[in-house]
Amino acid sequence: MPTYEDEYKRIEKFVNLVCRTLLFPKRVDLRGVENFVLEGPNIIVGNHIGSHKDVAILLRYVPRMIFFTANKMIFNRREASELVLRHLHRHMGKFGGFVHLLFNPLYSYMVDFVSGHAAKIGTIPVDIYGSKRESIFKCQDHLREGRAVIALQGRGRVHPRDPNPYVKSFRRGVSIMAYNLYKEEGLSVPVTPLSLFGTHIMWGVPGRIKVNVGQPLRIRDFWGGGEVETVERFRAALEGRVSGLLYESLSW
């Protein structure tokens, strides 16, 4: 039976083409590439402000096979098409419906490709509106296999009313995964913080995307005071580090 890596190699060139299309005509400024973990279990955590463009950035620039949780709706052609329409309405209002109708043949092709090949590019289907335990357990299984798991924080857009519009408050999932694996199996998973800025700018509009990668953090360095305190301490450290990387990138 073909592995995920075997399946990905078959469509890698086309995936790169799609990613370049999704990022057109923006310029990417990536710094800290030496901080990526090249082998063994790894969690890459970052802010999520650019919907599909964030995913395209990671697929293009992380120098290894990556696995990320994805809304299970994208694995169904009809539901995936509904997601595209919602995205257009959010950014373009009622005009988004007209754009969806006008470019429906292109969107239909893209939706068919994504829903038919999502599993092959390293996605872990989860119900984003259901229990988070399922997502955590599936990710832990991939980490045990020595894979790199992506855990972006947010809903794929800027939140103007939040204290930090570009870095939404982190959830506890990543910290819980790291805690479980270290306590139960002694597996110290490096968690790589990463910030994204510029992916929130609409497709087709020229701009500069800034990607800042920090050195990995490990939960063992934040251990103490029981599970709740350790998990919260690590969660806050990851959120603070990603925020710091973002502010740092604004000075480039």
Task: Please tell me the predicted confidence (pLDDT) of residue 51.
Answer: 82
Provide the pLDDT confidence category of residue 169 given band limits of 50, 70 and 90. Answer: very high
Provide the pLDDT confidence category of residue 100 given band limits of 50, 70 and 90. Answer: very low
Length of the chain, please?
252
Task: Please tell me the predicted confidence (pLDDT) of residue 89.
Answer: 57
CA distance 193 to 173: 14
Q: Where are the domains of the chain?
A: 4-249
Task: Please tell me the predicted confidence (pLDDT) of residue 123.
Answer: 62
In 3D, which of 18, 50, 249 has the Cα closest to residue 159?
50
CATH topology assigned to domain 4-249:
Glycerol-3-phosphate (1)-acyltransferase (3.40.1130)
In terms of C-beta density within 10 A (0-12 exposed, 13-18 middle, 19 or more buried), how is residue 105 classed? exposed
Task: Please tell me the predicted confidence (pLDDT) of residue 235.
Answer: 98
Query: Regarding beta strands 208-213 and 27-31, do their DSSP bridges make them parallel or antiparallel, or are they unpaired?
Result: parallel
Q: Summarize pLDDT for 179-221 with one digit per residue, the tens.
A: 999 999 999 999 999 999 999 998 889 999 999 999 999 999 9
With beta carbons less than 8 A apart as the criterion, state whether 247 and 211 touch.
no
Among 1-10, 33-42, 106-115, 157-166, the least confident range: 106-115
Q: How confident is the model over 147-160, as a mean pLDDT?
A: 90
With beta carbons less than 8 A apart as the criterion, state whether 49 and 156 touch.
yes
Residue 239: both structure tokens together: 């959120």
Q: Does residue 84 register a pLDDT over 90?
A: no
- pLDDT above 90: percentage of residues in the chain: 52
Q: How confident is the model over 44-70, as a mean pLDDT?
A: 88
Q: How confident is the model over 16-36, as a mean pLDDT?
A: 92
Average pLDDT, the chain: 82
DSSP 131-178: -HHHHHHHHHHHHHTT-EEEEEESSSS--TTSSSTTSPPPPSHHHHHH
Task: Please tell me the predicted confidence (pLDDT) of residue 13.
Answer: 83
Q: Does residue 19 register a pLDDT over 80?
A: yes
In 3D, which of 22, 65, 45 has the Cα closest to residue 209?
22
CA distance 210 to 47: 12
Task: Please tell me the predicted confidence (pLDDT) of residue 143.
Answer: 96
Q: Summarize pLDDT for 27-40 with one digit per residue, the tens.
A: 999 999 999 999 99
Q: How far is CA 28 from CA 43, 58, 128, in A?
A: 22, 12, 29
Q: What is the C-alpha R_g of the chain?
A: 18
Query: Whole-structure pTM over 0.75, yes or no?
Result: yes
DSSP the chain: ---HHHHHHHHHHHHHHHHHHHHTTPEEEEE-GGGS--SSSEEEEEE--STHHHHHHHHHHSSS-EEEEEEGGGGSHHHHHHHHHHHHHHHHTTHHHHHHHHTHHHHHHHHHHHHHHGGGGTEEEE-TTS-HHHHHHHHHHHHHTT-EEEEEESSSS--TTSSSTTSPPPPSHHHHHHHHHHHHH-----EEEEEEESTTSPTTS--EEEEEEPPPB-GGGG--S-HHHHHHHHHHHHHHHHHHHHHHHTT-
Residue whose tokens read 């039976």: 1
Provide the pLDDT confidence category of residue 133 given band limits of 50, 70 and 90. Answer: confident
